[in-house]
């Protein structure tokens, strides 16, 4: 699997992949300047790469003009929108439906699990996390479709429901991981340093810690 973020015009395509990667490196550099936490920047880098692949899979390719875009604009915009739960195309077999639903769940599991390592997430924020994870992709697709004046990606309430479920499973997995990590650390009396210390901070607080530069991190324990 590789990143492929291409925008197609009437005669050619333009890749924004390198620009997206460059933006990620720029943001990581800003995070390093702000936090001086190598562990946090590493977690942010992993999460950022994941988001790039999600964008590549769900938002691209994008046809701004040309024969495909013109043909799609001739149809009804609402023809690409499904707001009825568990309403599937009569031409889709059960196997393809299950695969589609499963992929939408799996797509957001890393989001639910990893967001606590890069953002201040507490259990009371779960509603917001589910809202962002569940509706985020479809909302962006809808906005882009409105700008392009055709549903360049299908807007489906089933995708939203599966994205919410995937986010919930991922966050539940994080909570279980945090509990096990802290329990084992106490039982084995593990002395955490570096990335281990950062993971311990995230797990013990139930989410992203208040960051200090790593050279001063030892004074916080």
Give pairs for 12-17: CB < 8 Å, separation 24+: 13/61, 17/56
pLDDT in tens, 171-197: 999 999 999 999 988 888 777 777 888
Distance of CA 62 to CAs 113, 119, 135, 137, 198, Å? 29, 30, 20, 15, 39
Residue 176 CA to residue 33 CA, distance in Å, equals: 32
| DSSP label of 34 | H
State which H helix or E strand residue 62 sits in. strand 62-63
pLDDT at 208: 65
pLDDT at 213: 44
pLDDT at 207: 65
pLDDT at 210: 61
pLDDT at 115: 95
pLDDT at 17: 97
Point out the residues of the chain with pLDDT beneath 50: 212-221
Task: Give the length of the chain.
Answer: 221
Residue owning tokens 């990590």: 181
pLDDT at 219: 38
State the helix-helix crossing angle for 38-59 and 126-148, rounded to 10 degrees: 40
What is this structure's pTM? 0.89
pLDDT at 173: 96
pLDDT at 125: 85
């Amino acid at each position: 699997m590789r990143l492929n973020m291409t925008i197609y015009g009437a005669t050619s395509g333009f890749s924004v992949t390198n620009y997206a990667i460059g933006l990620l490196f720029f943001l990581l550099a800003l995070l390093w300047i702000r936090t001086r936490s190598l562990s946090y920047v590493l977690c942010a880098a992993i999460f950022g790469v994941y988001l790039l692949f999600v964008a590549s899979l769900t938002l691209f390719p994008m046809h701004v003009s040309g024969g495909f875009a013109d043909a799609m604009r001739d149809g009804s915009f609402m023809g690409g929108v499904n707001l009825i739960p568990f309403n599937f195309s009569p031409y889709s077999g059960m196997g393809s439906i299950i695969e589609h639903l499963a992929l939408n769940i799996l797509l957001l599991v890393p989001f639910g699990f990893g967001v606590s390592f890069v953002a201040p997430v507490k259990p009371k924020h779960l509603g917001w996390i589910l809202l962002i994870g569940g509706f985020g992709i479809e909302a962006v697709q809808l906005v882009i479709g409105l700008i392009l004046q055709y549903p360049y990606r299908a807007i489906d309430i089933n995708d939203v429901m599966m994205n919410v479920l995937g986010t919930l499973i991922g966050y539940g997995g994080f909570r279980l991981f945090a509990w096990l990590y802290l329990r084992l650390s106490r039982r084995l009396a593990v002395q955490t340093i570096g990335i281990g210390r950062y993971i311990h901070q995230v797990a013990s607080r139930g989410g992203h810690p208040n960051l200090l530069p790593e050279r001063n991190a030892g004074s916080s324990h």
